[in-house]
Amino acid sequence: MRLALATAVVLSLFTSPTMAEPTVKLHAAGSLKAAMSDIADLYEKTHGVTVARAFGPSGLLRERIEGGEAAEVYASANMKHPTTLATAGKAGPVALFARNRLCALAQADLAVETETLLATLLDPQVRVGTSTPKADPAGDYAFQVFDKAEAFSSGATEALKAKAFQLTGGKDSAKAPEGRNPYGWVMESDKADLFLTYCTNAVLAQRDVPELKIVALPEALSVGANYGLTVVNDAPQAAWQLAVFILSPAGQEILASYGFTAAGAL
């Protein structure tokens, strides 16, 4: 699909105005905010085009685009949402541009390690937090972890899904104060003892609240996340150029610096 997107970019050069548009509208997953902000800043500096940015849960961003909100480049924390737009004829080809994985973010006083993570999750006294499935792919990935747990403890999937607090990523989720990492804020506010989120989010949360612990998932429960990129129909040439820039060595290097596994350069 990367080749398909690159081909579409070349075609756009012959169908779009040659004058660069003054602004490109970027909609991107909240987990991409730090990395994509740096990418957008560098793109603005090197291309002389302003990037207007909207960050949020990927599913909610997709709904906004489907509802007619002006958008041009859409970077999702999964492949499903951009593919949905492409299948509906609202966007071009979808490219895998980064990978992530899930980690557990734990309170400092919670005795938990990779080897004891499942037992800790199942402990009735331990409050488990996740993002909101369907609205935010991070919630869907967390629930995939719960699905995998069934192979090791009968009834684990149902128990974990029933006890999980969906604390972020939903339409009605409480918002962190301006400038605060949402996951660090949730944990500092004592809303959960353990939170399943992207490892990249966990690193940023720990920078915000240094006493938090990051626990790797055991291989048997590990869940990876593929991030998809697409350009919305009728977007200007500069939007296609931004998409290529995200896939370029410069964009991929920035993603890697924030802990994403880069998908590789064009």
Range with lowest mean pLDDT among 66-80, 83-97, 175-189, 251-265: 251-265
- Give the tokens for residue 218: 């055991």
How many other C-beta atoms can be found within 10 angstroms of the C-beta atom of residue 184?
A: 22
Q: Round to whole Å and give the CA distance between 53 and 33.
A: 9
Fold of 101-221: D-Maltodextrin-Binding Protein; domain 2 (3.40.190)
Has residue 262 got a pLDDT over 90? no
Has residue 190 got a pLDDT over 50? yes
CA distances to 2, 91, 157 from 118, in Å? 37, 40, 11
Residue 22, pLDDT score:
75
For domain 2-99+226-262, the question of CATH label 3.40.605.10 is answered with no
Residue 14, pLDDT score:
36
